[in-house]
Amino acid sequence: MNSKGKIYGVSLGPGDPLLITVKGLQTLQQADKIYYPGSLLADGSTSSYSLQILQHYQLDADKLQGMFLKMSDDREAAEQTYAATFQQMLADYEAGLQVAFVSEGDISFYSTFAYLLKHIQQHQLELEIIAGVPSFILGAAQHQSSLAILNEKIAILPRMKDRDTLSRYLEEFETVVLIKVRSVLQDIRNLIQQMGIQIVYCERLGTTQQYITTNINDLENREIPYFSLLILKRI
């Protein structure tokens, strides 16, 4: 055990366990404790996309610790969970452990880790963040298409269901990436059809359940999962 603790923010990549960086995997293999995010479901059970990725690396299960959040907009309850998890991480750190917190995709991009980061920085703990592959990058790679060239601009928008706002972005940016689309897709589907733009819809990228289509009509009766996105390009 090291006399001085350290915290690592480790990006897991979008789903394919081979898309973690070499540095990220080595950090997990050497860590004393690994925290991962997950969901606390209404029936009391838990699920974790990050844990599914971690299980591919044959890590010691005893060093894995979940942080589970209810799927709701109750920010107060979420903040309590973040604070409690940080206190656990702080105790590990002060005990001299090498502590990792993981996140699917890139850990600096719409990640739960951001809420722990402010506690880590307030306590001035030694920290290293290891970058990773975000899902929309894999989406473009799987579709074998370019996201942008030369001076083209890209916008990334979460939960965008305002048709007028989306229309303005599509006029200003050559490529628009929509993430967290599950709750808004039906609101914007007609606009996408009317504008005649190219689309790439992706879900569960990097997993055995990966699905990609370029036809917006394929989504009319499809159940949209949380891990889904749309890449829109002007023709």
Q: Which CATH number covers residue 44?
A: 3.40.1010.10
Q: What is the CATH number of the domain that holds 172?
A: 3.30.950.10
pLDDT digits (tens, 9 = 90+) for 18-46: 999 999 999 999 999 999 999 888 888 88
How does pLDDT run across 113-168, given as a tens digit for each residue? 999 999 999 999 999 999 999 999 999 999 999 999 999 999 999 988 788 888 89
Interatomic CA distance for residues 101 and 46, integer angstroms: 18
Q: Are residues 152 and 221 in the same domain?
A: yes
Kindly report whether the global pTM for this prediction surpasses the value 0.75.
yes
Domain range spanning residue 222? 135-233
- Of the candidates 116, 113, 52, which has an alpha carbon nearest to the alpha carbon of residue 88? 116
Distance CA 48, CA 68 (A): 8
Number of domains in the chain: 2
How many residues would you count in the chain? 235
How many CA atoms does the CB half-sphere of 162 hold within 13 Å? 6
Considering the domain boundaries, does residue 201 fall inside one?
Answer: yes
Contacts of 76 (CB under 8 A, 6+ apart): none
**Residue 99 β-bridge partners:** 7, 33
Beta bridge partners of 230: 178, 201
Q: Are residues 126 and 111 in the same domain?
A: yes
> 3-class SS at 27?
helix
104, 130, 156: which is the final residue of a domain?
130
- 60 and 145 inside one domain: no
Does 1 fall in a domain? no
Residues 11 and 125 in one domain: yes
